[in-house]
Every structure is written in C-alpha cells, then in structure tokens.
Amino acid sequence: MIKDIRTTLLDERKSLSDFYNPQVLINMGPSHPAMHGTLRVMCRVNGEVVEDATCEIGYLHRAIEKLAEHKTYHQWIVYTDRLNYCSALTNNIGYVMTVEDLLGIEVTERCQWIRVICMELARIIDHLICIAINALDMGALTCFWYLYHWREEAYSIIEAMCGMRLTTSYARIGGMSYDLPDNFDSMMTKFLKGLPKSIDDVEKLLSANRIWVDRTKDVGTLTKQEVMDFGLTGPVARASGVDFDLRRDRPYYTYPELDFEVVCGVNGDVYDRYLVRMEEIRQSAHILAQCVKKLPKGPLWVDDRLIKIPAKQDVYNNMETLIHHFKIFMDGIHVGPGEAYNAVESPNGELAFYIVSRGGTKPWRTRIKPPSLLLFQSFEYSMKGAKIPDAVSILGSLNIIAGELDR
Amino acid sequence: MSKDGNAGFIPTRLDYAVKWAQKNSLWPFTFGTSCCGIEMMSTLSGTYDLARFGAEVVRFSPRQADMLIVAGTITTKMSPVLRQVYDQMLEPKWVIAMGACSSSGGIFDTYSVLQGIDEIMPVDIYVPGCPPIPEGLIHAILKLQGVVESGGKRPEMHRLTREEANNAMSFRKDSDASLFDDSKPLKGQLK
Amino acid sequence: MSKLTPKLQEEQDRVTALLIEMFPGNRIDRDKNAEPVMWLNTASELLLAVKDLRIVTGLQMDRLSDLTAYDNVDGSDGPKRFVLVYQLYSMRFHTRVRLKYSVSENESVPTLTSFWRAANWLEREVFDMFGIPFTDHPDLRRIMMDERFVGHPLRKEYPLKDRQPFPDSLPVRIAARTPLSSGQE
C-alpha cells in the first residue's frame, strides 16, 4: 500500500517535472526592445535557462560593400557614417586613412590632431550610449537621462565642427571638410569640466547598486582564451584581461605623443565591461584635454593639387578652380592599383578597412571588418547556460551596432 | 445627452473630446532599426523631452500603441516583420516614416533595401533628413496631432489587405540586366 | 599615411624576412603599407601555413583579424575566379600577415573553424556573398540574405538593384544543427 502511494507520487513528480521542464523555443526579435531593433535570437529554454541559442542577422543588410564598388572614393564617405552610427567620426577617419595609404600620402600635423580629437569624442559618445542603453534595458532609467545630457553636449560640439549631429562625414581624403570652429576651445573645456561629474554621479548610482551588481556580476563571462578564439577586440576583450589596444600597440597619428592608459578588467563579465567603459571615458577625456593644449596651428590639407579640394571661395571666383573642383567630385580621385589594409581602434574594437584597387576612381573591392560581427558571434556562446534576463544584459554590454554588424 | 433621449449637439462634442484625447496621448511604437533610432532616443531623452506633447509612453507591444514611428532602413528581409507589426496594431493607428531611408530608401538604392515603407503600408507623415534632427520628429508629431484632430485625409493605402501588400512588395525580376550596369534601374512595375 | 613607429616597422620587416625564409616556394608581395602578402597554392598548404604561423616562435599569428574574399573576374590576380583573403594578427609582436588563396567557382575551401571560432560567421558571410563553399564547416548557410535568395550579391555579375523580396520571414532554424560548442573545445 505504502509502495503504491510512493510510486504514484513519483509518477506525479515525473509528470510535474515534464511540465516544468519543457523544451520551449523562444523567439526574441527582430522587433524586440532589448534586441536593439534588428537582431534576432532563437533560444531553446529549459525553465528559465537557455540551453541553446541561434542568432540570425542580416535584418539591416544594406549592401554597403557592394555600393562601394559603384561609388567613387569620396562619394562613399557618407556610407561610412551609417556603419556605426554612434561613432560615425571614427568610421570616416578609418576609411580615409586607408584610402590615403593607397594614395601614399600623409596628412598634415594639424589634421592628425583634429582626427585624434574626433576619434576620442566619438569614443566618449559611443561608450555613453552603450552604458545608457545597457542600464535602460535593465530598468535603470535615471542613468539614461544623466548620460544622454552629456551626449547632447558632445553632439553640439560635433554640430559646430561639421554641421551634422549623427552622420558627420567630417573627414575628406587628404584633410577635413572644415577646420575646427573658433570657439572650439571654450566648448571643449566646458564639456570636459562637466562630463566627469556626470560620470561620477552615474558611477555612484550603479557601481555599488545591489540590483545592478546582481544582474551584471558573473554574467556573460568570457575567459582570455575564449576572447582570443572568437577574435574579440575592444572593451569586451580588455574586460577579460586581454591587454590589447591598437592606439598603444600599433599607434597611428599622434597617439604616441599622448599620455593615456589602457584599461583592463579581470573577470570578463558584464560588470567589468561596464567598469572598463567608464574608465575609458575618463581616459578619453584626459586625451582630449591634452589634444586641446597641444593642437598646433598650420595647414589642414595636404599639399597635393590632385587630392586637395579647392576652397569654396576660389571655386566661386576662379574658372580653373571651378573646373578642378568639378573634376574631383564628378570624376573622382584616381588611385593606382594596389591594396591596403588599415585598422583603427574604434569604440567597439578593431575596425578595419581593406581596399583592393585596380586603378581608376572606384575601388574594386572594399571590405569592412566590423568589430560587432565577431562580438555578436560570441553572444550565442555566452547565452548558453544564462537566463533570459541575463541575455538582455549581455547583449547590452557587447554594444552591437546593427549598422556595422550587417553592413 | 438630455433626459428625453435627444442627442442634440452632444455626439459632435464627444467626437471632439475623443479626438482631443487621442491627439494628446499618441503612444508610439518605436520601430528603430538604425541611425534614426538613435535620434529618436534623443527626442525621447531629457533635452528634447517628447513628454511635452504626450507622446513619451513608448510601448513595445504593437497592440498598445497608436502611432508607429518607423525610424531607419527597412530591408526586404525586415519588411514582412514591419508589415506584421502594422497589422497587429489596433485602429485608430497612424504611421510616421522617419528619415530618408524609410521614406524612400534614401541613399541605399540596392538589392536588399525596401524603397520606402509606403510600398507595404500607408504612411501619414514623412520626415525628411538623414537622420532628421529631433526637432524634425517633434514637428512631425505636432503635424500628426493636427491630422488626428481634424480627421484629415488618410493615405490611400490605408485599406490595403495583407495579400495586396505582399504583392506590392514583390517586384518584377529583371534577369537580363547587363554586367556592371548601375545606371539601369531595376525597380520595375508593381505586380 | 599612418606611419608605423620604427620598432613596429622593424618587427614587420623581421616577420617578412622570416616568412620568405620559411616558405621559399610561395610568392610573397608587399602591399602599400609594406605588409607581407603570401600566396598559397593548395588547400593543404593553406592549413599547414595557418598552423605553422600560429606556433612558430617568431611569428605567433594567433588572432584571425579578418577573413574575406574578392571577385577576380578580370583575371588580374591569376586565372582563378575568387581570391580568399586571411588577415592574421600577432598579439605578441603586433604585426600583420595577409594570406591569399585563389579558388575557382564551386571549388571548396577547407574551413578554419578548427583553429578559430571567429572563422565561423566570417566563412558563412563569404559563402553568402560569393558562393564559395567551405568543407567541414559546422553550419554553412546564408547569414545576411534570406535562405531563399538566389545568387550571390558581391559577385560582379550580380546587379546592384536586383531585389528579391519575400512575403514572409523564415523561422530561425535551431533543432537541426550541431551543438554550439562544436568548433574547438
């Protein structure tokens, strides 16, 4: 009799465990608030634990690489803005740098300093957005207001520099489209004075916050070996202790003259990525302060008539210059056959451009190596064994930008 | 309504009241895919504060939203998803196409990009810009409030069925396009 | 131009010299940035070279930076149709090496997923965009385009504006594939 009850109970429990252990397929995205608009993940969950996940990308595939083969070198600069739209300036500069390598020219010193300023400003904005969205996805709305305020301030500086907030198209082959505005120093000083205070405020709100720590600590951990295996770069790799930063290890422009530290984490979880990003904002602000001090006067453009875009004043008043201007923009710059590969340290990691030229004004093949593609590839792996809410925090910390993920 | 059941002028007053309520509480569903999505978030943030116009309650379920803001490039892979989101929204519903990409395809006239969301669904307001500045989106929402209030003319595609929309999406495939020819547009007749 | 620091330039030159010494039978070019570009002739040579470059003390090309391809329909880079490009990076010496391997149409290439997991999606992208198949790839299917898409967009003969819309989106496949950790454990 007792045995019978036991078996019934066991049977009952078995059916219950079946009930609580269903292999449910959950589709997240592409239109899901935490999936940043265009990412899609199919998870097989057991209870709340994700057992297997498949990522689907391509929902923002806009054929930017194919378009490159149909546009001249100058025309394609606008498309680089739309790769990583949070840090468009870095994309612009990374691309023109590669074209300049193909042409074999070196930009002037002032231009180099301005480009470093642009890249660091872009890094600050990108990290601000990443932390703000990551916190927002986990319900911390206050940080979003604090950080977005300083992002707007940065945008007003960028707007004064090039006339556009988000899609800047600031860099040109051999120079920049405009020089810095007259009140740049005062704007930047105001920005650099206010930003650290806001960062401190956010750090006070988050770093010791029980909910934030619980949801980020030991979540989405990647070891050093896994980072190398997935080819990750940028803050995610540095949070795992991979001491690698192209600005220091393969410096370009005036980075060797600047004093900054490469920030590294230990655990490689979401919390460390957040700390690394916070510290990198401070380092970038430090670099910007040095740049404002050291910015030399001098010519902005290379002294090469075939590459330099004539000044607008001359175009309107001088016949020959008008024709020259017309030729540069309608015909394009002629680039000899050859190939070049160049990488810059974008806010997300190594952003590389690989251009194969067969001569003429259009490239034969332009390849963008976005950091996000490899980062998102590791997402499938980090999701295994995590819970659904963890997936949201991991994705936010990876900072996937769909524009450069799908291109 | 008076006691004898005579409606009098009240129905129009109620209509007015409903429209007034609708226009000041447009709950958006934000379909942000790319660059415009970032500017849309700026519009919602403290500096521009869309809450002043009653449109800050971002709903991530289409069934709770009145206004679909399509911000960003819509690819052909994404367009069925967008259409499904639109179909799931309850009447009355309005659509804002934010930015050049969702209005017309913008600078991406390529094999994978839908040339404007009005090929698959009706659009009330188009916002120009790549991306539009937050003031542009605020202006669009104010314009849309005018449309809601006046009961203005709705786009013709408003009553398109699902099948019709799908047919509108499929272009005639031109197979004998010559090599390297990008001057010849392939966007042909609609079926 | 982003000029290299003298120390890095020295390292890069040393790596190039070492490559020439190690692979006497291969053509080694220098690109516009004076980075070595090594051409590989056979599939087994590719696998062997990648394996060697990872291990040899003076090279340690331990990170796959990029994997892509380009169309060689005009025949400037040899008679074969496509050229696969592998960008390797040494995290110790901070030098780059580029490997190139030509393939004909429909000729398959050995996968590098056994060396780096990073190669998985990069190879899928090459398969999607150029139609180059990879042997022993754990999950070879289209990545950017819909699975019903016909043609390979980055081939030169594919017209820029040839759209292929589909009325619905496909469900993501999940059951019919190998576990995620099938790469390298």
Q: Kindly report the three-state secondary structure assignment for every residue of chain A.
A: CHHHHHHHHHHHHHHHHHHHCCEEEEEECCCCHHHCCCCEEEEEEECCEEEEEEEECCCCCCCHHHHHCCCCCCCCHHHHHCCCHHHHHHHHHHHHHHHHHHHCCCCCHHHHHHHHHHHHHHHHHHHHHHHHHHHHHCCCHHHHHHHHHHHHHHHHHHHHHHCCCCCCCCEECCEECCCCCCCHHHHHHHHHHHHHHHHHHHHHHHCCCHHHHHHHCCCCCCCHHHHHHHCCCHHHHHHCCCCCCHHHHCCCCCHHHCCCCCCCCCCCCHHHHHHHHHHHHHHHHHHHHHHHHHCCCCCCCCCCCCCCCCCHHHHHHCHHHHHHHHHHHHHCCCCCCEEEEEEEEECCEEEEEEEEECCCCCCCEEEEECHHHHHHHHHHHHHCCCEHHHHHHHHHHHCCCHHHHHC
The CATH architecture to which C6-165 belongs is: 2-Layer Sandwich (3.30)
CB contact under 8 A, C5 and A249: no
Query: At residue C129, what are phi and psi to the nearest 5 degrees?
Result: -85, -30
Nearest to B35 among A144, A152, A167 (CB): A167
pLDDT of C1 over the 50 cut: no
| Among chain A residues, CA nearest to B70 | A37
Mean pLDDT across the stretch C7-17? Answer: 84
Give the pLDDT score at B44.
Answer: 85
Least confident of B12-16, B35-39, C38-42: B12-16
- Enumerate residues 163 to 192 of chain A having a beta carbon within 8 A of any beta carbon in chain C: none
Sheet with C96-103, strands from edge to edge, namely C28-30, C36-40, C96-103, C82-89, C63-71
pLDDT of C122 over the 80 cut: yes
Summary mean pLDDT of chain B: 76
Give the pLDDT score at B176.
Answer: 36
Least confident of A14-28, A389-403, B138-152, C168-182: C168-182
CB contact under 8 A, A339 and C31: yes
- Domain assignment present for residue A363? The answer is yes
Q: Looking up tokens 């930009």, which residue turns up?
A: A107
Give the pLDDT score at B188.
Answer: 38
Mean pLDDT across the stretch B180-188? Answer: 41
Residue A314: give its domain's CATH number. 1.10.645.10
pLDDT digits 0-9 by tens, B86-126: 888 887 888 899 988 888 888 888 888 888 888 788 888 88
Q: A53 and chain C: CB distance < 8 Å anywhere?
A: yes
CB contact under 8 A, C160 and B110: yes
CB contact under 8 A, C156 and B174: no
Chains that touch C (3 or more CB pairs under 8 A): A, B
CA proximity to A302, closest of A100, A72, A94: A100
pLDDT digits 0-9 by tens, A68-123: 888 898 889 999 988 888 888 999 999 998 998 888 888 888 999 999 999 999 99
Give the pLDDT score at B187.
Answer: 41
Nearest to B76 among C156, C160, C164 (CB): C164
pLDDT digits 0-9 by tens, A320-371: 889 988 888 888 888 888 888 988 888 988 899 999 998 888 899 999 998 9
Q: A406 and chain C: CB distance < 8 Å anywhere?
A: yes
Q: Show the tokens assigned to B189.
A: 């007749």
| Among chain A residues, CA nearest to C172 | A42
pLDDT of A20 over the 70 cut: no
Q: How confident is the model at residue B15 (pLDDT cuts 50, 70, 90)?
A: confident
Q: Show the tokens assigned to A187.
A: 């704007």
C150 chain-B contacts, CB cut-off 8 A:
none
Give the pLDDT score at B57.
Answer: 83
| Among chain B residues, CA nearest to C152 | B111
pLDDT digits 0-9 by tens, B25-40: 888 888 888 888 888 8
In terms of pLDDT, which residue wins out, A305 or C110? Answer: C110
Give the pLDDT score at C173.
Answer: 61
pLDDT of B64 over the 80 cut: yes
Q: C74 and chain B: CB distance < 8 Å anywhere?
A: no
Beta carbons of A269 and A286 less than 8 angstroms apart: no
CATH number corresponding to B23-152:
3.40.50.12280
CA proximity to A64, closest of A76, A50, A46, A48: A76
pLDDT of B180 over the 60 cut: no
Which residues on chain A place their C-beta less than 8 Å from a C-beta of chain B? 30-33, 37-38, 58-64, 66-67, 70, 78-79, 81-82, 85-86, 129, 144-145, 148-149, 151-152, 155, 165-167, 402-403
pLDDT digits 0-9 by tens, C67-111: 999 988 888 888 888 999 999 888 888 888 889 988 988 888 888
Domain residue spans of chain B: 23-152
- Domain assignment present for residue A42? The answer is no
CB contact under 8 A, C118 and A229: yes
- Domain assignment present for residue A39? The answer is no
Interface test with A, best of B73, B102, B183 (most A CBs within 10 A): B73
Q: ipTM for the complex?
A: 0.87
Give the pLDDT score at A402.
Answer: 84
Beta carbons of C49 and C38 less than 8 angstroms apart: yes
Chains that touch A (3 or more CB pairs under 8 A): B, C
Give the pLDDT score at B185.
Answer: 43
- Domain assignment present for residue A58? The answer is no
Q: Show the tokens assigned to B115.
A: 């040339």
Instruction: List the domain range (segments joined by +) for residue A362.
Output: 64-406
Mean pLDDT across the stretch B175-182? Answer: 38
Chain B to chain C Cβ contacts (< 8 Å): 61
Give the pLDDT score at B165.
Answer: 57
Q: How confident is the model at residue C171 (pLDDT cuts 50, 70, 90)?
A: low
Percent of chain A with pLDDT over 90: 9
Question: A55 vs A28, A36, A378, C150, C171, CA distance in Å?
Answer: 10, 13, 10, 22, 11
Mean pLDDT across the stretch A36-43? Answer: 81
Rounded Cα distance, A217 and A207, in Å:
11
Domain residue spans of chain C: 6-165
Amino acid identity of A69? E
pLDDT of B179 over the 60 cut: no
Give the pLDDT score at A353.
Answer: 92
Rounded Cα distance, A347 and A237, in Å:
12
Which region holds residue B180: left if phi is over 0, alpha if psi is between -120 and 50, else beta? left
Q: Show the tokens assigned to A32.
A: 């899901």
Q: Which helix (H) or strand (E) holds C134?
A: strand C134-135
Summary mean pLDDT of chain A: 86
pLDDT of B166 over the 80 cut: no
| Full-model pTM | 0.85
pLDDT of B156 over the 80 cut: no
Q: How confident is the model at residue A144 (pLDDT cuts 50, 70, 90)?
A: confident
Mean pLDDT across the stretch A218-235? Answer: 88
Q: How confident is the model at residue B152 (pLDDT cuts 50, 70, 90)?
A: low
Give the pLDDT score at C181.
Answer: 41
Q: How confident is the model at residue C177 (pLDDT cuts 50, 70, 90)?
A: very low
Give the pLDDT score at C166.
Answer: 75
Summary mean pLDDT of chain C: 81
Beta-bridge partner residues of C66: C87
pLDDT of A404 over the 70 cut: yes
Give the pLDDT score at A106.
Answer: 87
Give the pLDDT score at A388.
Answer: 84
Give the pLDDT score at B153.
Answer: 66
pLDDT of A253 over the 60 cut: yes
Nearest to B33 among A64, A129, A402 (CB): A402
B82 chain-A contacts, CB cut-off 8 A:
31
Domain count, chain A: 1
Question: B127 vs A298, A348, B26, B36, B116, CA distance in Å?
Answer: 41, 30, 17, 11, 12
Nearest to A100 among C1, C76, C158 (CB): C1
Amino acid identity of C27? R
